[in-house]
Amino acid sequence: MGANSTGLTELPVYEKLMKLAREPYDLTIPGAVAPERIAAYKASAVGFDLLYSTQRVDDAVLNALQQLADQSGAVDQFLAMKRGAVMNRIEGFESENRQVLHTACRDIFKDIPYNAEASLQAKQQLENLEHFLAGLDSGEISPLQGEKFTDYINIGIGGSDLGPRALYLALSAYARENKRVHFISNVDPDDAAAILKRIDLSRTLVGVVSKSGTTLETLTNEEFVRNAYKQAGLDSRQHFVAITGQGSPMDNPEKYLHSFHMYDYIGGRYSATSMVGAVMLGFGLGFEAFKEILRGAHAMDLAAEEKDIRKNPPLLLALLGIWNHNFLDCETVAVLPYSQALLRFPAHLQQCDMESNGKSVTRNGQNVANATGPIVWGEPGTNGQHAFYQLLHQGTTVVPAEFIGFRKNQYDLDLEIEGTTSQEKLIANLLAQVLALATGKKAENPNRFFAGNRPSSILIADKLDPFTMGSLLALYEAKIVLQGFIWNINSFDQEGVQLGKVLANRFLDHFIIGRQGQAKDRSTYPESWAMLEAAGLFKEG
């Protein structure tokens, strides 16, 4: 299972941290956020600086958090994961019982990869993709003589949509000329209809993404789009590619122009750097841009191996999150990117974090003795300042925040207005919010009183480009799994989504019975029939 299977509350340093949490560092006293502290409380790796002077920690807390990392064996477990240890399991109970090797997609740049077999498979799939993209660019792969595909529809849901979509939108400034990417994820037919309405199907490639090849929403959307091709008199096989598990029902050359493979050891929410993201990103951004994403992710994967928390931003961010969540009793965390390009990155992190660490049993199959994953949410600044920041500053709930910013904008297009550029205004707002949340403001008018002591951190880099995006993605992936190791939970399964799927199928069976005019057997699942009728979906007679 890895280096440690002891829960947070059982670690020797736990009581010390509980004692320190009774009087956390006060950010509101004069000089609490001094220049010396700001300079000292900074961790850097792969072009990112993590500034954390506005967290409620001091050297004593940081030393204790270092002990927490060491005693839990968090980094050792991270290394065991990368080498291929079976981390996706619950001891003594039926579970997926798999390796966790999303990092192998990036280890292709390492002379001696941590897991040779997985890295070789990743290389083979990349070579497959490079050849395929070259065929698209030359027009050799095209249903139209001498014409090229101009559009790509990504059909997937969950990890097959959120991460890849977040990355594409983040890097759309680098999109290839005359290449456009669209996404269909929701089984709501309006989602697909809106896309189909505005594209030329004859010039559109469709990527269907499902590891199992049986994901209901994805297969439903696939048939919806295939029907559009049929109605247009087009052969859908010449337009559809499969991104799926080898040997799955979708791995079928009779239905698909080409197949790309994903593997059981890569979880959906960690799959953006596998073929799940590669095919779409390679089409929209180019093969070399996708390789830059991989290079950035690989560099951060290596940085996450550092045992000194002050030199390891992913580990330090994980520990600060545990300090706020488990010791200062903060239930949520807001991810606030001051970059419009990252508008869907918080949505990706919602899945990656909450599906990974929203667990209530340990890897030993016992109930956890402490809080695990926080509620993750967020939106880009500065729009958020005019929406929910009121609650962040003066609400009764303390919400730790992780701000993300860049020194330069992507398009290199800006204008000086009233003495400053738009990018300078953006960064000024980010820094101001961090300081205001930390220090607060005293006022005799209670309506204008700011309590302060609202902890936050800043992740800042020069510019959001493919390499940086890969680094940022890997930073958060590492943060999430390191927290899971410390909590001794399985961050790699998602049993919580299964019950709803089973019940949804029951309702679908009811719809079929109703459509076929069969008699309703109310003795079977009476609550389901009652809910359908209460919702006005079925009526007697």
For the annotated catalytic residues, the residue numbers are: 355, 386, 501
Q: Compute the distance between CA of residue 198 and CA of residue 254 in angstroms, rounded to an integer.
A: 28
What is the distance between the terminal CA atoms of the chain, rounded to a whole angstrom? 58
Comparing C-alpha atoms, which of 294, 288, 285 is closest to residue 174? 285
> Omega before 103 cis (within 30°)?
no
Please answer whether residues 270 and 159 qualify as being in contact, where contact means their C-beta atoms are separated by less than 8 angstroms: yes
What is the token pair recorded at 447?
Answer: 């309506």
Q: Compute the distance between CA of residue 338 and CA of residue 493 in angstroms, rounded to an integer.
A: 31
Q: How many helices (H) and strands (E) does the chain have?
A: 17, 13
Burial class (CB in 10 A: 0-12, 13-18, 19+), 375: middle
Please answer whether residues 206 and 239 qualify as being in contact, where contact means their C-beta atoms are separated by less than 8 angstroms: yes
Q: Compute the distance between CA of residue 435 and CA of residue 31 in angstroms, rounded to an integer.
A: 12
What is the token pair recorded at 472?
Answer: 């940022």
Dmax (CA) for the chain in angstroms is 77
Q: Compute the distance between CA of residue 412 and CA of residue 323 in angstroms, rounded to an integer.
A: 38
Planar angle of CA 132, 134, 137, nearest 5 degrees: 115
Bridge partners (DSSP) listed for residue 43: 50
Q: List, in order, residues 6 or more apart from 9 with CB less than 8 Å away.
A: 369, 370
> How many Å separate Cα 500 from the centre of its chain?
22
Q: Compute the distance between CA of residue 159 and CA of residue 185 in angstroms, rounded to an integer.
A: 10
What is the token pair recorded at 188?
Answer: 């709501």
What is the token pair recorded at 143?
Answer: 């249903």
Q: Compute the distance between CA of residue 267 and CA of residue 88 in angstroms, rounded to an integer.
A: 10
DSSP letters along 356-375, please?
HH--SB-TTSSB-SS--PPE
Q: Compute the distance between CA of residue 59 and CA of residue 76 in angstroms, rounded to an integer.
A: 24
Q: Is 209 helix (H, G, I), strand (E, B) or coil?
A: strand
Comparing C-alpha atoms, which of 67, 43, 110, 117 is closest to residue 301? 110
Comparing C-alpha atoms, which of 488, 493, 500, 525 is closest to residue 510? 525
Please answer whether residues 485 and 78 qualify as being in contact, where contact means their C-beta atoms are separated by less than 8 angstroms: yes
Q: Are strands 48-51 and 151-155 parallel, antiparallel or unpaired?
A: unpaired
